């Protein structure tokens, strides 16, 4: 299998409106990390919606999705005949690649989108999926 096909298989495609929603959210919450959920239908991420960052470790460098928000995200996806595809979050003044904390907190079988935000301006957006053995993330395409 080619690298291009492998990357495409790792993460679903995302519609432009969902990417725009992620960019706006990241800009609005800078310098803190934002987070939100991703809804997938028919192999495409069709919606990205905001969730509160419930971390107690400082929103400047961490994000956390509360169990109740996870549950609500699944319900919202189901109400739209979709599925919870994963989550997105921002990296203020850092690259759009997973941190050690991201690796420790991630769940397999979900897509993780990370957006870099430099001085309040949204930048690179990347997609990742945790390996089944939890050893690392594999990068996908958007």
Look up the pTM and report it. 0.91
Under a CB-based contact definition with an 8 Å cutoff, are residues 55 and 75 in contact?
no
Q: How far apart are CA 44 and CA 46, in angstroms?
A: 6
| pLDDT at res. 113 | 98
> How far, rounded to the nearest angstrom, does the alpha carbon of residue 46 sit from its chain's CA centroid?
13
Tell me the per-residue pLDDT of 121-130, one tens digit each, with 9 for 90 and over. Answer: 999 999 999 9
Under a CB-based contact definition with an 8 Å cutoff, are residues 107 and 130 in contact?
yes
| pLDDT at res. 9 | 58
Tell me the per-residue pLDDT of 21-71, one tens digit each, with 9 for 90 and over. Answer: 999 999 999 999 999 999 999 999 999 999 999 888 877 788 989 999 999
Neighbours of 18 (CB within 10 A): 23
Tell me the per-residue pLDDT of 128-142, one tens digit each, with 9 for 90 and over. Answer: 999 999 999 999 988
Q: Which residues of 79-118 are buried (b: 16+ CB within 10 A; e: fewer)?
A: eeebebbbbbbbbbeeebebeeebbeebeeebbbbbbbbe
Q: Which two tokens stand for residue 135?
A: 């050893």
Report the CATH number at residue 25.
3.40.140.10
Residue 13 has pLDDT above 80, yes or no: yes
Task: Give me the domain span that covers residue 114.
Answer: 3-140
| pLDDT at res. 3 | 43
Tell me the per-residue pLDDT of 94-120, one tens digit each, with 9 for 90 and over. Answer: 999 999 999 999 999 999 999 999 999
Q: Which two tokens stand for residue 15?
A: 């519609």
């Amino acid at each position: 299998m080619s690298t291009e096909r492998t990357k495409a298989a790792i993460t679903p495609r995302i519609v432009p409106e969902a990417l725009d929603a992620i960019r706006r959210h990241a800009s609005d919450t800078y310098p803190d990390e934002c987070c939100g959920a991703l809804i997938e239908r028919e192999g495409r991420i069709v919606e990205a919606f905001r969730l509160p960052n419930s971390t107690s470790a400082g929103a400047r460098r961490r994000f956390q999705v509360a169990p109740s928000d996870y549950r609500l995200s699944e319900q919202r996806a189901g109400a739209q005949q979709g599925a919870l595809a994963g989550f997105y979050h921002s990296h203020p003044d850092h690259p759009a690649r997973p941190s050690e904390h991201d690796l420790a907190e991630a769940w397999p079988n979900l897509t993780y989108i990370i957006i870099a935000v430099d001085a309040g301006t949204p930048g690179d957006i990347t997609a990742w999926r945790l390996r089944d053995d939890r050893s690392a993330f594999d990068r996908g395409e958007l």
